Amino acid sequence: MRLHDLKPRPGAKHRRKRLGQGEASGHGKTSGRGGKGQTARSGSSIRIGFEGGQMPLIRRIPKRGFNNKRHTISYLPVNLAELNCFDDGARVDEAVLRSAGLANGRAAGVKILGDGDLTKKLTVSAHAFSASARAKIEAKGGICELITAKQAEPAKP
């Protein structure tokens, strides 16, 4: 078999639908655009949920109930296997993780997850640890330091 013998599998290639080729073609007259109106015009694009100026359904229905999203604490996940890039006996905290490119983005803090194996003894300082990550770090003789978020100070009278 040579390069010029290669062909796509049967059924993998389709003919392009040729619009406006006469009424008998099945794609003539309106060329698949239906009747008149906004969507029949060239350059027409209507955003999702737009109902022609009518109040959209998503804004008509009442917003009730509890949503836990606004009360959650989001952490940047860092797996144990990624911590092997640091030297043995090093201290790893959020600033070090961000400079190494392991924790990027905005979040309340860093959470160390137990995916992978740790090969070095490290002192890890983070806002949260999974149970398996804590066990693996301490099994290697490392230390897990939990950082607590700053509590709001009460108003002074």
128-129: strand order across its sheet:
75-79, 109-113, 128-129
| Band (44; pLDDT cuts 50, 70, 90) | confident
pLDDT at 66 over 90: no
**What is the mean predicted confidence (pLDDT) over 124-145?**
94
pLDDT at 151 over 60: no
Q: What is the pLDDT of residue 71?
A: 84
Class of the domain covering 74-146: alpha beta
| Band (70; pLDDT cuts 50, 70, 90) | confident
Q: What is the pLDDT of residue 136?
A: 94
pLDDT at 118 over 80: yes
Q: What is the pLDDT of residue 29?
A: 93
pLDDT > 90: what percent of the chain?
Answer: 78
Q: Give residue limits of the domains in the chain.
A: 74-146
pLDDT at 3 over 80: yes
pLDDT at 13 over 90: yes
CA dihedral 69, 72, 75, 81 (to 10 degrees): -90
How many CA atoms lie less than 13 Å away from 129 in the CB half-sphere? 20
Average pLDDT, the chain: 90
Q: What is the pLDDT of residue 149?
A: 65
Per-residue pLDDT tens over the stretch 86-115: 999 999 999 999 999 999 999 989 999 999
Give me the sign of the Cα torsion angle 88, 91, 144, 106. negative
**What is the mean predicted confidence (pLDDT) over 54-79?**
90
Q: Which residues, 6 or more positions from 78, have their beta carbon under 8 angstroms from its beta carbon? A: 97, 102, 103, 110, 111, 112, 113, 126
